[in-house]
Structure 1
Amino acid sequence: MNWNKIYLCFVVLGFFSLGIVYLVLSGGIQYNTLYESPQTSDALKDWNIIYNETLLREAIMDIHNNNYEVKEEDVCIKTLPDCIIIGVGKSGTRELIDFMSIHPNIVSKSNPYQFRGGLQSSNSEYSRVIRQMPCRYSDQINTIKADTYLQQREKPAEIFAMNPRVKLIAIVREPVSRLISDLTMLTKERQTIYKDRYISNSKDMKKRIEYLVNIPYKELPVQVYKSIYDDGLERYMKVFNKNQILVIESNEFKYTPVNVFKRVEQFLGIRPFFSNEHFVFNSQKGFYCIRKPDACTKTMVCYSSARGRSNRMQIDKKDLESLKEYFRPRTERFFKLLGRRFDWLN
């Protein structure tokens, strides 16, 4: 038995505990947003659960850095993105790019990014984009998240002009649930910019749905348009080869992330790395967290405890069916373009 290792583990745990107590007493953090003891679930009874996005990303980078060795004489340089997550918001884009960064051969800029027009090598926008990219080594993929790009008409041509060999990933969610999630967030935050639109509050949802199913397509609010995927996919397929576009279904990613990431590895042409040892399912919240590497105890690190809201708008079943029927023709067309079907219309 290695008593030195056991002693070191207890010392580390002691310092960690003292640090948490100090931060809580000093007001530096709120205890219940950083750490929660497992509740009644048998699957979680032996786990410590940390809810903190900063610590989550630190755990991700620990895994990434511990498994990457720089080749001799290789240089870390800034380049234009090799891969862009083009959408769709409220479908899991944040989790997708964060968790992708676990892979030693993927570096990412997780904050949403917007190109300002064309990207010719002679203009200032080209230089600005490169300056803001993380540096990468020669065997790494540089990835950014731009989760409105699937719907923006001008983006396929602009991206192609920037890098015709770029890889594109879209994660998509059942249209009605994506829309409700978007509306819930906007209503919760009381964003006054939408005050006079049908998404202003949660009291008149029935009227807003009736408004939605009768509004002309060209006048759709952006939150509705983001749940329509066929036009965006068609625009990208006209510009890029099909093997440059990967479409991920949100629920598949939510419940079987390793299966999805194996497809991402093949799509990007990088070595197999993702495994179940990196992820732990948090049954209290219904999503996967990251297993903290080299922890002396079983510890998972998750997004904030507010992630995965349970207070979504309550919508009458008849109104839900109206929304589903509204999106049905566009969803069927999306399936046809994609050559695959998801279990969205049943």
Structure 2
Amino acid sequence: MNWNTKYLCFVVIGFFFLGIVYLVLSGGMQYNTLYEPPQTSDALRHWNIINNETLLRKAIMDIHDINYEVKEEDVCIKTLPDCIIIGVGKSGTRELIDFMSIHPNIVSKSNPYQIRGGLQSSNSEYSRVIRQMPCRYSDQINTIKADTYLQQRERPAEIFAMNPRVKLIAIVREPVSRLISDLTMLTKERETTEKDKYISNSKDMKKRIEDLVKIPYEKLSLQVYKSIYDDGLQRYMRIFNKNQILVIESNELKYTPVKVLKHVEQFLGIRPFFSNEHFVFNTQKGFYCIRKPDAYTKTMVCYEPRRGKSNRMQIDKKDLDSLKEYFRPRTERFFKLLGRRFDWLN
């Protein structure tokens, strides 16, 4: 073997080992650049599955912290919210703010927060809101969720007075399924707190539905009104520019979280970060979990099994159709305001 051949062999071997070193380091440090498609049920057998919301949020913050580097001389300060998730309850607001919090440039308040009263810079409420916010750096966005803000009439004007440049996100769900989910939770809470009899058979639910649809619009209960989206959206559109409002459909977040979160990135004007590497589809449960940022083990952290599984009442198809017809005019108006449709009325 001549000298040139030996030299070429050394060069090839050197590049080979350098490549291995790079892959090892990048696997541990550049977690967000990897890609894996949603896992199949066979692949799940090799995963460690943890159902714990506390550990899920810890995994989220681990990903967030690993991928954020504080700029030199930058200071973490408390500010008014830059982004508010204005609803709607029982549509996935918790999942939305949790998943958004993976992003290094999004800082969120973990618990729902209600603004009480007006927000003039001179009053105590204005200061109280700031005190309760997490601190953020100059390249981060402060986010809170408030499940009922879409329906509350006074909120758009108050939020505009607080921050006219705020970004607003609403996540909405097919009205009938959202209402049934809300009523299920309400009756279970009554069973727990007031010792009321739990409404568990279709006859009782049928009576409740019949009563609901007879109530005049101006006297609707909050549970029904939260499934009516057109009035709330119109109130916000009258005050805020259209490019300040993003509407997300609940099932789109449930089944295509990365696609939705990339849309959120564009809406908020922050750098691309979300990828399929952050999520694992749990086929046993039918929803996405968070992949724990660990290069050595395959661990997914999920919401606890009871979340979203409240033994919802069985309702006759006739009664479901009656509810859909009840919501249809408002839903059609909502689609017209939004400028796009969801597959809710079929």
> C-alpha separation between the residues in 1 aligned to 2:192 and 2:65?
43
| One-letter amino acid matched to 2:223 | Q
Cα distance 1:194–1:259, how it changes in 2: closer, same or farther (>3 A)?
farther
Q: Which amino acid aligns with 2:219?
A: E
Q: Write the deviation string for residues 288-327 of structure 1: whole angstroms up to 9, x where unpaired.
A: 1100001522100011121230621100010000000000
Q: Which stretch shifts more, 287-296 or 255-264?
A: 287-296
Residues 148-159 of structure 1 aligned to structure 2 (within 5 Å) = 148-159=148-159
Q: Using the alignment, how far apart are the partners of 2:215 and 2:134 within structure 1?
A: 43
Deviation per CA, 1:143-172, whole angstroms, max 9, x where unpaired?
A: 000110000000000000000000000000
Match of 1:201 among 195, 199, 202: 199
- After the TM superposition, which segments of 4 or more aligned residues of structure 1 sit over 4 Å from their partners? 191-196
Q: Could you tell me which residue of structure 1 aligns to residue 37 of structure 2?
A: none
Alpha-carbon offset, residue 44 of structure 1 = 1.3
2:47·2:300 contact (CA, 8 Å) conserved in 1? yes
The corresponding residue for 1:160 is: 160
Pick which of 90-99 and 295-304 moved more: 295-304
Indicate the SS of the match to 2:281. strand
Q: Match for 1:345: what amino acid?
A: L
Q: Please tell me whether the aligned partners of residues 75 and 137 of structure 2 are also in contact (alpha carbons under 8 angstroms).
A: yes
Q: Which residue pairs with 1:276 in the alignment?
A: 276
Report 1:31-42 matches (<5 A).
41-42=41-42
Corresponding residue SS for 1:143: strand
Q: How many residues align?
A: 308
Q: State the secondary structure of the residue aligned to 1:85.
A: strand
Shift of residue 190, structure 1, vs aligned partner: 2.3
Alignment partners' CA distance in 1, 2:295 and 2:133: 31
**SS of residue in 2 equivalent to 1:117:** coil
| 2:70 aligned with 1:78 | no
1:187–1:202 Cα contact (<8 Å) kept: no
CA contact (8 A) 2:290 2:302 kept: yes
- Where does 1:292-307 land on structure 2 (aligned, <5 Å)? 292-307=292-307
**Cα distance in structure 2, aligned partners of 1:44 and 1:308:** 21
Residue 54 (structure 1) aligns with:
54
Contact between 2:188 and 2:198, CA under 8 Å: does it hold in 1? no
Equivalent residue number for residue 250 of structure 2: 250
Q: 2: distance between equivalents of 1:248 and 1:288?
A: 17
Tell me the C-alpha RMSD between the 2 structures.
2.0
Determine the C-alpha separation between the residues in 1 that align with 2:195 and 2:248. 33
Q: Any unmatched runs of 5+ in structure 1?
A: 3-39
Would the alpha carbon gap of residues 53 and 72 (structure 1) be closer, same or farther in structure 2, given more than 3 Å must change?
A: same
Residue 200 of structure 1, CA deviation: 6.7
Q: In structure 2, how many angstroms separate the alpha carbons of the residues matched to 1:244 and 1:98?
A: 21
Cα offset, 1:211, TM superposition: 1.1
Write the mapping of 1:65-214 to structure 2, written as runs, cut at 5 A. Answer: 65-190=65-190, 201-203=199-201, 204-214=204-214
Q: Which residue of 1 aligns with 2:13?
A: none
Whole-Å separation in 1 of the counterparts to 2:255 and 2:104: 23
- Check conservation: 1:194, 1:200, Cα contact below 8 A: no
Distance 2:193 2:96 in 1: 29
Q: Matches of 1:288 and 1:49 in 2, distance apart?
A: 12
Mapped to 1, the partners of 2:233 and 2:324 lie a distance apart of: 20
- Could you tell me which runs of 5 or more consecutive residues in structure 2 were left unpaired when the two chains were aligned: 1-16, 21-39
The TM-score, its normalising length taken from structure 2, stands at: 0.85
Q: Name the residue aligned to 1:29.
A: none
- Equivalent residue, structure 2, for 1:318: 318
Q: Highest Rg: 1 or 2?
A: 2
